[in-house]
Amino acid sequence: MNIGEVSHRSGLPAKTIRYYEDIGLILPLRDANGYRAFRESDLHKLRFLGRARALGFTIDDCRALLALWEDKGRASSEVRKIASAHLTAIQTKITDLQLMHATLSHLVDCCAGDDRPDCPILHSLEAPA
């Protein structure tokens, strides 16, 4: 399989796949002409990576998860630990964003948004309530 087909079948851009090889997440073979020769197992890994990334895992998380995935004798507690830590991080982000949203939507509600120069949003940025 060339990179184009793998890209198509994994849903990842070719650039991303090359990058993943660069940082050692995958190690495709090479044809005589220098083209990357992907095995089915490479494709599986790439799909795995795509799903993990879509869940917001960092590349380093992915590296660890991939290693655990390959390690048939691993304990599921390891995986669960990574996932739980990630869950906490996600929750923190959500809370932060919700706070931002509340503050800002309050300001937007206060703002007439017409052609007058008086703007409560700017006032608040100037000195918070």
Partner DNA sequence: CCTTGACCTTCCCGTTGCTGGAACCCCCAT
Partner DNA sequence: ATGGGGGTTCCAGCAACGGGAAGGTCAAGG
Q: Can residue 15 be called a binding residue for DNA (CB under 7 A)?
A: yes
Q: According to the binding rule CB under 7 A, does residue 39 interact with DNA? A: no
- Calculated CA dihedral for residues 54, 57, 63, 64, nearest 10 degrees: -130
Contacted by 80, from DNA, its own copies, none: CB < 5 to 8 Å by type? its own copies
59 is a contact residue toward DNA (CB under 7 A): yes
- Other CB atoms within a 10 A radius of the CB of residue 2 amount to 13
Stretch that binds DNA, among 55-63, 74-82, 105-113, 114-122 (CB under 7 A): 55-63
Residue 77 interacts with, from its own copies, DNA, none (CB under 5-8 Å by kind): its own copies
Residue 67 CB-density burial (10 A; 0-12 exposed, 13-18 middle, 19+ buried): exposed
Site for its own copies in 52-81 (CB under 8 A): 52, 55-56, 65, 68-69, 72-77, 79-81
Nearer to DNA, 14 or 120 (CB): 14
64: number of Cβ within 10 Å:
16
The backbone torsions φ and ψ at residue 118, rounded to the nearest 5 degrees and listed phi first, read -80, 120
